[in-house]
Structure 1
């Protein structure tokens, strides 16, 4: 009976993994196939003829390169800005005890987590329009950065609460001021949480569609999610090219997680236990 209890969870997890990976395997194999017939006859089979031109055509002719770089630098810049602002805010609210209203401010910030992003869409559009930022990447950078602050502050603050107070006291005795304490001690120690927040924010911006679709209409400024819609319409009969475009949109996320997965897990779990 004990063997069954140990085996069943593993079988369920294996089924779940297969269900998750099967569509991605189909997409990758299809992206190397020459035509739709090969895809239809052998959906999970190795390509009859491996074609690398699909990736070149999608990157150059399908303008995937422009969409890719727009998404990459918007995701990276807004995620980095969100991390720095959240780290500074969390440090002030959690570690600087002289701020008497820190708990109240912290609660106000967390209320932002209760407001769905789509509810603010009309207000954001009016604000961006009044600031004459439509059809610029600023119209996306500012909402992306601000929208990520509540959850980012929550994660970073939870981690900072676990940092021993003796570490700060020793640093102050050694002559570090507030800025030195923050940049030389707190930020390096909080790095796992910062990496976690960066990746969460990066993925959120990378996959965002609604704001990017309505705030940006210039083709050269479109991000990958919105650009993929036009790419799909232009090549709707060429499934191999569509699959290639999908690979371009998901592979960076896999690479990012593959290199930083340990930091992500460490950042999520370390703040759950106060040391």
Structure 2
């Protein structure tokens, strides 16, 4: 009886946690099919008539589709670049023949995790202006990539330490170069970890607002988070269309996480056990 009661309590706690987590998403989804009066007067009620026009307005009138592609391009490019650089750095750190240099580089990367990107906005703005990439996609791709490398290196290096060096020695005997080892042996073995890092970085880049708002002044280059904020002013608080645009911006993250969630768990735990 005690086991049954404790099991019911654990399941009840999980159900309550699930409700708390899903409630904001379900509230926005429900509001995206309402008109303004229903959102204001009956925020928790179901819509009397599902207003699909909100999604049509979001795409046709506010050009959400172009902002969607801007976010997809910037997030995918920055995440891919960060993974490639982080994998090379992590491989060099874990296989470097100079332990002191390796520990120094690793320590610097870990210390950089303590620095908040928001504290560097002014020097970043000045640097981007001097590089001549202000108001271009690279104004976001470069800082996004740089800020993603430390955590990516930390996660990837933890897994690389568990890979037997005998596999690489066998590759060297077969005539593989360093790049061949990295591409044919290391990358396939670290795929679950790389998928995990990709998802975490992609979600962060997709939802980032401050740098996207500061470093891009052209309306055609805006990303989705910035576009949603401007969407409020443009449509004078059209809550239905606003929540529809929020749902559109959340769809890619939901899909990516749902499809690859198994890789996240496997990637997080893969480097924790050796052998």
TM-score normalised over the length of structure 2? 0.94
Following the alignment from structure 2 to structure 1, what is the Cα–Cα distance between the partners of residues 166 and 100?
Answer: 21
1:207 maps to 207
Residue 239 of structure 1: how far off its partner (Å): 1.4
2:171 maps to 171
Following the alignment from structure 1 to structure 2, what is the Cα–Cα distance between the partners of residues 216 and 37?
Answer: 34
Change (3 A) 1:40 1:118: closer
- For the 8 Å contact 1:68–1:224, the answer to whether it is kept is yes
* Secondary structure in 2 matching 1:101: helix
Following the alignment from structure 1 to structure 2, what is the Cα–Cα distance between the partners of residues 41 and 122?
Answer: 43
Following the alignment from structure 1 to structure 2, what is the Cα–Cα distance between the partners of residues 253 and 130?
Answer: 33
TM-score normalised over the length of structure 1? 0.94
Following the alignment from structure 2 to structure 1, what is the Cα–Cα distance between the partners of residues 124 and 6?
Answer: 52
Following the alignment from structure 1 to structure 2, what is the Cα–Cα distance between the partners of residues 167 and 110?
Answer: 28
* Secondary structure in 2 matching 1:32: coil
Residue 65 of structure 1: how far off its partner (Å): 1.5
1:90 maps to 90
- Give a deviation string over 1:103-142, Cα, whole Å, max 9, x none: 2211122211111111111111111111122111111111
- For the 8 Å contact 1:236–1:242, the answer to whether it is kept is no
Residue 85 of structure 1: how far off its partner (Å): 0.3
2:156 maps to 156
* Secondary structure in 1 matching 2:9: helix
Following the alignment from structure 1 to structure 2, what is the Cα–Cα distance between the partners of residues 236 and 74?
Answer: 28
Deviates more, 1:41-50 or 1:187-196: 41-50
2:8 maps to 7
- For the 8 Å contact 1:83–1:152, the answer to whether it is kept is yes
- Give a deviation string over 1:221-272, Cα, whole Å, max 9, x none: 1111111111012234421111101101111100010111111111111011
* Secondary structure in 1 matching 2:16: helix
Residue 45 of structure 1: how far off its partner (Å): 4.6
Moved over 3 A (4+): 37-47, 96-100
2:246 maps to 246
* Secondary structure in 1 matching 2:113: helix
Following the alignment from structure 1 to structure 2, what is the Cα–Cα distance between the partners of residues 157 and 97?
Answer: 15
What runs of 5+ residues in structure 1 fail to find an aligned partner?
none
Following the alignment from structure 1 to structure 2, what is the Cα–Cα distance between the partners of residues 162 and 239?
Answer: 51
Residue 162 of structure 1: how far off its partner (Å): 1.1
Residue 165 of structure 1: how far off its partner (Å): 1.8
* Secondary structure in 2 matching 1:256: helix
Change (3 A) 1:149 1:15: same
Deviates more, 1:253-262 or 1:42-51: 42-51
1:30 maps to 31
What runs of 5+ residues in structure 2 fail to find an aligned partner?
none
Deviates more, 1:21-30 or 1:36-45: 36-45
Residue 52 of structure 1: how far off its partner (Å): 2.0
Following the alignment from structure 1 to structure 2, what is the Cα–Cα distance between the partners of residues 4 and 239?
Answer: 44
- For the 8 Å contact 1:94–1:161, the answer to whether it is kept is yes
- Give a deviation string over 1:51-80, Cα, whole Å, max 9, x none: 322212101201211221111110000000
* Secondary structure in 1 matching 2:273: coil
Following the alignment from structure 2 to structure 1, what is the Cα–Cα distance between the partners of residues 107 and 60?
Answer: 48
- For the 8 Å contact 1:25–1:44, the answer to whether it is kept is no
Following the alignment from structure 1 to structure 2, what is the Cα–Cα distance between the partners of residues 261 and 71?
Answer: 22
